């Protein structure tokens, strides 16, 4: 029954308009039902043994149906009178296509839909809650809109189906692919993993979703930091009255990664790739050069701690040696453009000037900048 609200992976088997699936169940009188079942079961057994059964294949099917009903009564069950119906809300000019889409969905699950003609008012009343009174049930039975089924059939065919409703806290509101309204909060995770990824083709709306994500979290008082490569979030930052920090060659902003290091043994694996990228933007360094950078950073950290700078690292590479690795003057020449003292004939450029803009919703003052 779960697929009757549309197939998650096949767009052709999804509804093209809002819809409403309704199941109405009327419990029949047990005593009257037992007498009817017994009489019909006896008659169906006699007909199945007659010579007419050879030319009337429906006789055997009726016997199977009444045998199942008799077994349900013997095991303490009962018969019910029920109806299933699907209501589609669509403009008249799109009704035919919506009807065909619904037919395809139900046909794929073994059901055949019959279109109502001139019965829309009764069908709408039957879809509303608290309307299935005994009188209304008689009216539906007179129009042959109900059938007799066992209680087990009614339970198995109940449209208690839906998509994932989302997380408990409604930071974001989405509509599922099959029409279910769902809420989402990336931080509402008891397991503690808050990572996520947005994947899509160019122009499919990744930046739009990121803007919605940032704006929704700002609306509930969260602090948002974003790295913006392509200026997709500049307007949102201005609207949110945030601070848009843009790294350009003519902007005097420098970041020193060593000021935020707490445990050098844990952070060295993050520092070495960044310093390596400063040394060579286009090519990968060899293994010896990686080891030289790591060894020199650890050596200087023991001497300077958080006061260590990229310029100091450059000077150490220029004049110092590591006994087990030899002179590292080549690394000093490569890292020179990322330092405060320019290479002769080459303009000065901070290490972070190659990155894109970054904006934060929290106001920052000029005193919070750390120079290398």
- Confidence at residue 249, expressed as pLDDT on a 0 to 100 scale: 78
| pLDDT tens column, 309-321 | 988 888 888 775 6
pLDDT for 71 beyond 80: yes
Residue 254 to residue 277: CA distance in whole angstroms: 16
| pLDDT tens column, 8-37 | 778 778 888 888 889 999 988 888 888 888
- Confidence at residue 337, expressed as pLDDT on a 0 to 100 scale: 54
Please state, in angstroms and as integers, the Cα–Cα distance from residue 327 to each residue in 181, 278, 311, 315, following that order: 64, 19, 17, 12
Q: Sorting pLDDT into bands at 50, 70 and 90, what band is 91?
A: very high
Q: What's the whole-number average pLDDT of the chain?
A: 80
Q: Sorting pLDDT into bands at 50, 70 and 90, what band is 368?
A: very low
pLDDT > 90: percent of the chain: 10
- Confidence at residue 340, expressed as pLDDT on a 0 to 100 scale: 59
Domain borders along the chain are: 2-156, 257-355
266 CB-side CA count, 13 A = 4
Task: Give me the sheet containing 147-150, strands edge to edge.
Answer: 19-27, 79-88, 147-150
pLDDT > 70: percent of the chain: 85
Instruction: Kindly state the average pLDDT of the residues 179-197.
Output: 85
- Confidence at residue 357, expressed as pLDDT on a 0 to 100 scale: 44
Backbone angles phi, psi at 246, to 5 degrees: -115, 125
pLDDT for 57 beyond 80: no
């Amino acid at each position: 029954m779960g697929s009757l609200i549309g197939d998650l992976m096949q767009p052709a088997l999804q509804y093209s308009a809002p819809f409403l699936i309704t199941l109405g169940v009327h419990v029949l009188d047990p005593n009257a039902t037992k007498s009817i079942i017994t009489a019909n079961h006896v008659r169906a057994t006699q007909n199945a043994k007659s010579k007419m059964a050879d030319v009337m294949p429906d006789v055997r099917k009726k016997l199977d149906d009444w045998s199942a009903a008799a077994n349900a009564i013997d095991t303490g069950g009962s018969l019910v009178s029920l109806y299933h119906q699907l209501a589609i809300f669509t403009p008249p000019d799109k009704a035919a296509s919506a009807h065909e889409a619904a037919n395809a969905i139900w046909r794929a699950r073994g059901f055949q839909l019959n279109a109502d003609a001139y019965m829309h008012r009764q069908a709408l009343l039957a879809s509303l809650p608290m309307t299935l009174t005994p009188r209304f049930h008689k009216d539906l039975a007179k129009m042959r809109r109900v059938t007799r089924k066992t209680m087990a059939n009614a339970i198995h065919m109940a449209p208690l189906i839906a998509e994932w409703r989302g997380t408990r806290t409604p930071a974001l509101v989405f509509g599922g692919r099959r029409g279910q309204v769902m809420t989402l909060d990336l931080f509402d995770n008891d397991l503690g993993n808050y990572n996520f990824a947005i994947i899509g083709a160019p122009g499919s709306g990744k930046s739009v979703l990121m803007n919605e994500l940032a704006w929704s979290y700002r609306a509930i008082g969260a602090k948002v930091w974003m790295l913006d490569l392509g200026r997709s979030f500049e307007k949102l930052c201005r609207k949110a009255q945030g601070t848009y920090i843009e790294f350009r060659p003519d902007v005097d902003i420098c970041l020193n990664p060593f000021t935020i290091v707490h445990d050098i043994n844990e952070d060295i694996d993050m520092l070495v790739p960044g310093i390596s990228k400063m040394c060579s933007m286009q090519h990968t360094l060899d293994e010896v050069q990686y080891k030289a950078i790591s060894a020199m950073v650890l050596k200087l950290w023991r001497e300077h701690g958080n006061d260590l700078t990229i310029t100091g690292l450059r000077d150490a590479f220029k004049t110092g040696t590591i006994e087990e690795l030899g002179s590292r003057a080549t690394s000093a020449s490569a890292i020179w453009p990322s330092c405060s003292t320019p290479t002769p004939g080459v303009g000065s450029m901070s290490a972070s000037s190659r990155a894109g803009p970054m904006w934060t919703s929290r106001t920052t003052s000029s005193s919070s900048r750390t120079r290398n």
